[in-house]
Amino acid sequence: MRVLGIDPGLTRCGVGVVDGTVGRPLTMVHVGVYRTPADLDIARRLHRLEQMVEAGVLEHRPDVVAVERVFSQNNVRTVMGTAQASGVAMLVAARHGIPVHLHTPSEVKASVTGSGRADKAQVTQMVTRLLRLTEAPKPADAADALAIAICHIWRGGAQNRLELAVAAAARATPTRSPR
């Protein structure tokens, strides 16, 4: 499975592409950060971000797009920008018929480090180890995007199989007519 992980943001949007399946070594395909200038109008920033995500989807052809779920912070402007960037990534994926899955920051940290309270340094260290990289991905947004992709491969893949099994069982079970 190839997963495009997105750590959403307007100024810096981390992107990481990872190939892998549960129980097999993971491979980093791409890592980077899409940037938009803070002095640009919000609509133009979102448009630029959309163009960059679109180019990434066309280049890497992911099977799934995994996005970090936006959580409430004290700074409303930051939350809004992050939510808007998330929406752009989800829109591009939907346009291409690619499934989108959201993962919370705690879920990502727990799947990569074993602790939902891990700090950025711990996440980066584990991403570097898991992907057998010679140096840590920088900046932190890039490492976080890889962590999101890894999280989806490990957790989302199992969740997808469970959902498919439940759906298959529901189709196989005869429905009873009401009396």
Q: 14: domain CATH number?
A: 3.30.420.10
- pLDDT for res 176: 57
- pLDDT for res 76: 75
Percent of the chain topping pLDDT 90: 78
Question: Which residues constitute the domain of residue 117?
Answer: 2-172
19, 50, 107, 141: the catalytic one is: 141
Instruction: Name the domain count of the chain.
Output: 1
Tell me: is residue 50 an annotated ligand-binding position.
no
Cβ of 54: how many Cβ atoms within 10 Å?
A: 15
- The answer to whether residue 59 is catalytic is no
- The answer to whether residue 68 is catalytic is yes
Please tell me the pTM assigned to this model: 0.88
Q: Does residue 177 lie in a domain region?
A: no
Q: Over the chain, what is the mean pLDDT?
A: 91
Q: How many helices (H) and strands (E) does the chain have?
A: 6, 5
Read off the pLDDT of residues 61-87 as tens digits, 9 standing for 90 and up.
Answer: 999 999 999 876 677 778 899 999 999
Q: Does residue 37 lie in a domain region?
A: yes
7, 50, 107, 144: the catalytic one is: 7
Q: Does residue 16 lie in a domain region?
A: yes
Tell me: is residue 144 an annotated ligand-binding position.
no
- The answer to whether residue 141 is catalytic is yes
* Residue 38 identity (one-letter amino acid): A
Read off the pLDDT of residues 82-133 as tens digits, 9 standing for 90 and up.
Answer: 999 999 999 999 999 999 999 999 999 999 999 999 999 999 999 999 999 9
Mean pLDDT, residues 137-156: 95
In our burial notation (b when 16+ CB lie closer than 10 A, e otherwise), range 79-109 reads eebbebbbebbbebbeeeebebbbbebebbb
Contacts of 63 (CB under 8 A, 6+ apart): 1, 2, 3, 98, 99
Classify burial at 12, counting beta carbons within 10 Å of its beta carbon; exposed 0-12, middle 13-18, buried 19 or more: middle
Q: Does residue 24 lie in a domain region?
A: yes
